[in-house]
């Protein structure tokens, strides 16, 4: 028997027809909404459709020390991030012009972008006589600088042409300067000028997404005078509009109580930090009666270009090396203190003085004996070289052959005694290019100066590993001021606050008040109680992440 067919309910065909129409529409709408959200989310890594509203980017040129000192606190105060374009050469050279690498990394950790320029900020549009060499040189300038930033974990995506000059073609390879910048791995290149506040919104801002990512323009300004609040606000209001981008450029940031304020304000296009503060507050209050146009936001160049989020840097670490120069007999006290704290130091000794090759007849009781040196070694300390008889390697009156003999003979003697000397300290902390080459040629792996960094000023630690292992710096005695516990602690705290790094501390004599020669000892020494208290502090109360390592350990193994 054939089963009877179930009768259809009225309207069932109509409902199916409606569903067949609606489902594709809903799916299409969902896909469109997702794509739209992704294109507007800078964290998505997608090609930028451009954030909505008026977008302002705060860019800072040259890696200036004043930018870290005075712009950084203001950016944090108003919850904003900037793009800092830094040249690698001056920072590697620890020049007074610029922030340190530790400070650049601190900016990065706080959400700022670190962009690239070149190694030495030279004008890339000036040709070299040899066209083939011209391209190779400029490629090294751009790609080499980016590699340096990437090696520090700063993930550079944005580039700024030195002086904003970008119009240049390489005849031998048929490429433009912008092509070169792109080939090095950048996603944008910022010029100087090109936007005009007096010619309407279309000429005062960059429509998003930018049509020319390697010609990122900004408000044109020919005057070298200081930036004013009025002109900064005018640049934003003139270019305000949906998906309008206004990158701004800042150089030196000047503070009225800084001793260098007048010189700072006499530089090219500086900004007073009070003006910058008022401008950031105005941006922060966007949409209010006293603020920027409604919908105005601040983004880094990286965010505007749609790059993925910045990968995190490891937590900052401060490594302290306790170094002892000259092989003073009193440094046995330091060995005892280090052993009690389960720490190790680096002792730089003069083998000729230990062996009696000095102005005094016979052995010198003011210097460590070989027995004392072996005890230090067995306790885990490092023994390094310091020349045989403590000669000034920069003295033009001493022949180069004598200087070489002083360095190499000292190292050979340490080898003969069963030691493995890898680290060297320049006598008097004095070094030049010739001395550096001699030290390296004798087989050392690093060389340290002294008094390059004062605990009374800004302590700029070395990077780990150091940029130049034969020109590392240290905190030492400044003038006739002894190393006190307070000065030693401030040196480490300042370094840690700047993002960490490597701080070498130099000690000479270890002085006891009961010693009849205590006053003379303190001329270049540290009181035993201060050293012990410093080791206690390093062990228990130093900034988080602070460790103590020998020079050899840092140079060979890093942090």
How remote is the C-alpha of 232 from its chain's centroid? 28
Weakest-pLDDT range from 24-28, 201-205, 398-402, 502-506:
24-28
The mean pLDDT of 494-517, rounded to a whole number, is: 90
Q: Are residues 212 and 339 in the same domain?
A: no
d(CA 337, CA 447): 25
Q: Name the pairing type of β-strands 382-385 and 253-254.
A: unpaired
Burial degree of 422 (CB within 10 A; 0-12, 13-18, 19+): buried
Last residue of a domain, one of 245, 269, 304: 304
The pLDDT-based confidence of 95 (bands split at 50, 70, 90) is confident
Q: How many angstroms separate the CA atoms of 228 and 232, rounded? A: 6
Q: Is the domain of 297 the same as that of 330? A: no
The verdict on residue 300 lying in a domain is yes
Q: Are residues 331 and 220 in the same domain?
A: no
516 shares a domain with 431: yes
Q: According to the model, what pLDDT value does residue 480 have?
A: 57
Q: Express each pLDDT in 420-444 by its tens digit.
A: 999 999 999 999 999 999 999 999 9
Interatomic CA distance for residues 314 and 310, integer angstroms: 12
Q: CATH no. for residue 444?
A: 3.20.20.370
Whether residue 446 sits in one domain with residue 416: yes
393 has a pLDDT exceeding 50:
yes
Q: Is residue 24 part of a domain?
A: no
332 within some domain = yes
> What domain count does the chain have?
2
162 in the same domain as 133: yes
CA–CA distance, 344 with 319 (Å, rounded to integer): 13
What pLDDT does 317 receive? 87
Q: Are residues 456 and 329 in the same domain?
A: yes
Residue from 95, 98, 112, 106 nearest 59 by CA = 112
First to last CA, the chain: 88
pLDDT at 32 (0 to 100): 43
Give the pLDDT score at 365: 67
Q: Is residue 13 part of a domain?
A: no
Residue 418 binned pLDDT confidence (cut-offs 50, 70, 90): very high
pLDDT in tens, 238-248: 999 999 999 99
| Domain boundary, last residue among 254, 269, 304 | 304
Provide mean pLDDT across the span 219-241: 95
Strands (E), 80-128: 83-86, 113-116
- Domain-embedded: residue 483: yes
Summary mean pLDDT of the chain = 88
Domain-located, residue 68: yes
Average pLDDT estimate for 138-167:
96
Selection from 463, 465, 429 nearest residue 448 by Cα = 429
Residue in the block written with tokens 């580039």: 159
pLDDT of 452 over the 80 cut:
no
pLDDT (0 to 100) of residue 524: 83
Model pLDDT, residue 98 = 94
Can you give the pLDDT at residue 50? 58
Residue with tokens 């391209």: 135
Model confidence at 473, pLDDT cuts 50, 70, 90, reads confident
Q: Burial-class residue 498 by CB neighbours within 10 Å (0-12, 13-18, 19+).
A: buried
In this structure, the number of other CB atoms found within 10 A of the CB of residue 295 comes to 16
Instruction: State the number of CA atoms in the 13 A half-sphere of 513 facing the CB.
Output: 2
Q: Over the stretch 21-77, which tens digit does the pLDDT of each residue have?
A: 554 544 445 444 444 444 444 444 434 455 889 999 999 999 999 999 999 999 999
Q: Give alpha helix (H) positions in 379-419.
A: 400-416
Over 50: is that where the pLDDT of 104 sits? yes
- Residue 191 and residue 322 in one domain: no
List the domain range (segments joined by +) for residue 541: 318-557
pLDDT in tens, 403-417: 999 999 999 999 999
Residue 550 and residue 501 in one domain? yes
Residues 209 and 235 in one domain: yes
Domain termination residue (choose one: 248, 273, 304)? 304
Q: What is the mean pLDDT of residues 129-151?
A: 94
Burial class (CB in 10 A: 0-12, 13-18, 19+), 297: middle
Q: What is the mean pLDDT of residues 482-497?
A: 87
20 belongs to a structural domain:
no
Radius of gyration of the chain (CA): 31
Residue 62 shares a structural domain with residue 210? yes
For the four alpha carbons of 227, 233, 237 and 239, in that order, the dihedral sign comes to positive
Tens of pLDDT, residue by residue over 269-323, are 999 999 999 999 999 999 999 999 999 999 999 999 999 999 999 877 899 999 9
Cβ neighbours, 10 Å, residue 81: 21
Is there a single domain that holds both residue 71 and residue 183?
yes
Does 22 map to a domain? no
């Amino acid at each position: 028997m054939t089963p009877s067919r179930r009768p259809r309910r009225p309207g069932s065909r109509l409902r199916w027809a409606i569903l067949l129409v609606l489902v594709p529409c809903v799916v299409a709408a969902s896909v469109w909404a997702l794509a739209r959200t992704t294109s507007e989310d800078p964290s998505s890594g997608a090609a930028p459709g451009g954030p909505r509203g008026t977008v302002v980017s705060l860019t800072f040129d040259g890696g200036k020390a004043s930018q870290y000192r005075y712009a950084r606190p203001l950016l944090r105060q108003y919850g904003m991030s900037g793009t800092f374009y830094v040249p690698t050469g001056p920072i590697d050279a620890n020049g007074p012009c610029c922030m340190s690498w530790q400070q650049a990394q601190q900016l990065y950790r706080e959400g700022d972008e670190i962009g690239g320029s070149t190694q030495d900020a030279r004008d890339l549009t000036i040709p070299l006589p040899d066209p083939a060499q011209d391209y190779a040189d400029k490629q090294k300038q751009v790609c080499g600088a980016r590699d340096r930033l990437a090696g520090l974990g700063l993930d550079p995506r944005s580039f700024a042409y030195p002086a904003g000059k970008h119009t240049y073609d390489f005849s031998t390879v048929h490429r433009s300067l912008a092509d070169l910048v792109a080939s090095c791995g950048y996603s944008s290149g910022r010029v100087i000028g090109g936007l005009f506040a007096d010619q309407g919104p279309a000429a005062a801002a960059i429509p998003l997404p930018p049509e020319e990512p390697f010609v990122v323009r900004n408000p044109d300004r020919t005057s070298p005078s200081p930036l004013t609040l009025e002109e900064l606000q005018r640049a934003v209001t003139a270019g305000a509009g949906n998906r309008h981008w206004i990158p701004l450029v800042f150089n030196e940031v000047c503070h009225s109580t800084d001793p260098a304020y007048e010189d700072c304000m006499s530089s090219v296009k500086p900004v007073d930090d009070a003006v910058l503060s008022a401008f950031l507050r105005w941006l922060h209050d966007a949409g209010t009666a006293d603020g920027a146009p409604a919908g105005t936001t601040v983004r880094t160049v990286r965010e505007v270009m749609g790059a993925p989020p910045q990968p995190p840097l490891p937590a900052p670490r401060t490594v302290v090396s306790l170094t002892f120069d000259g092989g003073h007999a009193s440094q046995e006290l330091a060995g005892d203190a280090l052993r009690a704290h389960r720490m190790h130091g680096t002792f730089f000794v003069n083998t000729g003085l230990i062996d009696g090759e000095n102005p005094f007849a016979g052995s010198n009781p003011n210097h460590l004996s070989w027995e004392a040196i072996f005890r230090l070694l067995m306790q885990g300390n490092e023994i390094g070289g310091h020349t045989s008889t403590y000669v000034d390697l920069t003295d033009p009156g001493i022949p180069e052959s004598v200087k070489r003999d002083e360095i190499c003979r000292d190292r050979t003697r340490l080898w003969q005694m069963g030691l493995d000397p890898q680290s060297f300290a320049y006598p008097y902390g004095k070094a030049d290019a010739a001395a550096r080459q001699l030290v390296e040629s004798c087989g050392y792996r690093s060389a340290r100066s002294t008094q390059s960094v004062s605990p009374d000023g800004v302590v700029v630690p070395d990077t780990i590993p150091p940029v130049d292992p034969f020109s590392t710096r240290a905190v030492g005695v400044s003038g006739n001021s002894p190393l006190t516990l307070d000065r030693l602690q401030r040196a480490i705290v300042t370094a840690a606050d700047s993002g960490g790094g490597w701080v070498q501390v130099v000690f000479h004599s270890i002085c006891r008040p009961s010693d009849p020669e205590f006053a003379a000892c303190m001329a270049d020494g540290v009181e035993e109680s201060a050293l012990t208290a410093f080791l206690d502090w390093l062990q228990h109360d130093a900034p988080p992440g602070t460790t103590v390592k020998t020079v050899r350990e840092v140079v060979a193994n890093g942090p």
